Structure 1
């Protein structure tokens, strides 16, 4: 008879916490005991306990809020990316719970960004870091880069929707004429996972959008990151039809 080795402790701990969440003993938005308390409860080291929490973060069951601790993740509504930087949320979501925080900083074009912008290295740019929220839970992260001379002087630090940000940009640049988008799935960087409050093992939908204006200049490059467990993408293609000449 072959004896199978016991599963690693992190999975046993994750199984127990998962069961407590699923059965309602740990409720949505409830703060878990501190990592030190949980490590003592399960009689394991803090690194082992953190590995167990990482399993649940990867499953989207808990989220870590910097400086506050680990919380049971509320069931979040679906986000649909429909192209061009536009997102639609579940009809059941109250618009009053949606908001976007915006942070504007000066930066320089480096590496791939300079290539996408089609500008020399170290050209002056303005970066807009935009994080979308449903209630207190983040659902999207977008970094928008524009040439410094096309950036608004000021921008509200918080807006009710993405449209407010787009409107502010549209006021100081020519109309956009063409947009191309590249979409792929990948694991998040540590900074992306921290902002979105997800585990580093949960795949994200990463979208790179390049927009040119009517003069042919690249007016905007945007990097959008969406959690893979609550996002779907919808693209609509309009086909051109050519009329046949009438036969005589």
Structure 2
């Protein structure tokens, strides 16, 4: 038997999908919804949290809950995000020095001068995904470095996890929504790391495509 939380979430989900609650619309206040469904406010909030985790509503502090506009999905394949004309990127550049886990990631001594490129992808006014790209400052190019020419080797580590508080705040995510975290490290022919990128792609708008190329050897027919 479905719980009260699931029953409420199912009803609101159906209204959103059917268009009875349209994108951008503000839901009734939580006390009003709790009275409507004859449940406690915590039970109502649990139901709303399910819809938020599914990407159907947004909870804006001090304003209420809103039906979310549909977000474009990104495809990450072979080191690249599929471009989308509806998305735009803002870039913030910061000079810093290597410390913590950046030292083994970039294989540099502590306090090595680095440049960080914080790239935020937006759909309209809403943040969509983010990437932090690190480049040793003596290799700093004139433009955004990723991807760079002359890369001899690129390695990627892909993991699904919950967002950090900073990621959840920046991307306006529920702390219960999984993200696809990709760490990409590129080195030149000498083995020197020339850049490292950390991408955070929310799970409700991202799919990863993995392609394997097989080599088939032709064998002659013995007579």
Task: Please say whether Structure 1 and Structure 2 have the same fold, judged by a TM-score greater than 0.5.
Answer: yes
3-state SS of the aligned residue for 1:229? helix
**CA distance in 1 between partners of 2:48 and 2:106 (Å):** 40
Q: Residue 22 of structure 2: which of 14, 20, 27 is its match? A: 27
Task: Supply the RMSD in Å over aligned alpha carbons.
Answer: 3.3
- 1:83 paired residue number: 78
Taking a change above 3 Å as real, the CA distance of residues 103 and 51 of structure 1, as seen in their structure-2 partners, is farther
Unpaired runs of 5+ in structure 1?
A: 156-164
**CA distance in 2 between partners of 1:130 and 1:67 (Å):** 28
Give the total of aligned pairs: 216
CA deviation string 1:31-68 (max 9, x = no partner):
335xxx32354258876654443221111111345776
3-state SS of the aligned residue for 2:26? coil
Q: Residue 38 of structure 1: which of 30, 34, 37 is its match? A: 30
Contact 2:152–2:188, Cα closer than 8 Å, also in 1 = yes
3-state SS of the aligned residue for 1:207? strand
| CA shift for structure 1 position 209 | 0.4
Contact 1:99–1:132, Cα closer than 8 Å, also in 2 = yes
Unpaired runs of 5+ in structure 2?
A: none
Residue 108 in 1 paired to residue 87 in 2?
no
Question: So what's the TM-score if we normalise by structure 1?
Answer: 0.71
Contact 2:33–2:44, Cα closer than 8 Å, also in 1 = no
- 2:160 paired residue number: 185
Map of 1:149-228 to 2, 5 A cutoff?
Answer: 149-152=138-141, 165-166=144-145, 170=148, 175-228=150-203
- 2:107 paired residue number: 118
Contact 2:34–2:41, Cα closer than 8 Å, also in 1 = no
**CA distance in 1 between partners of 2:44 and 2:169 (Å):** 18
Question: So what's the TM-score if we normalise by structure 2?
Answer: 0.78
Map of 1:47-62 to 2, 5 A cutoff?
Answer: 50-62=45-57
CA deviation string 1:76-134 (max 9, x = no partner):
333210122x1115xxx6x2x22111111123322222111001223222211112223
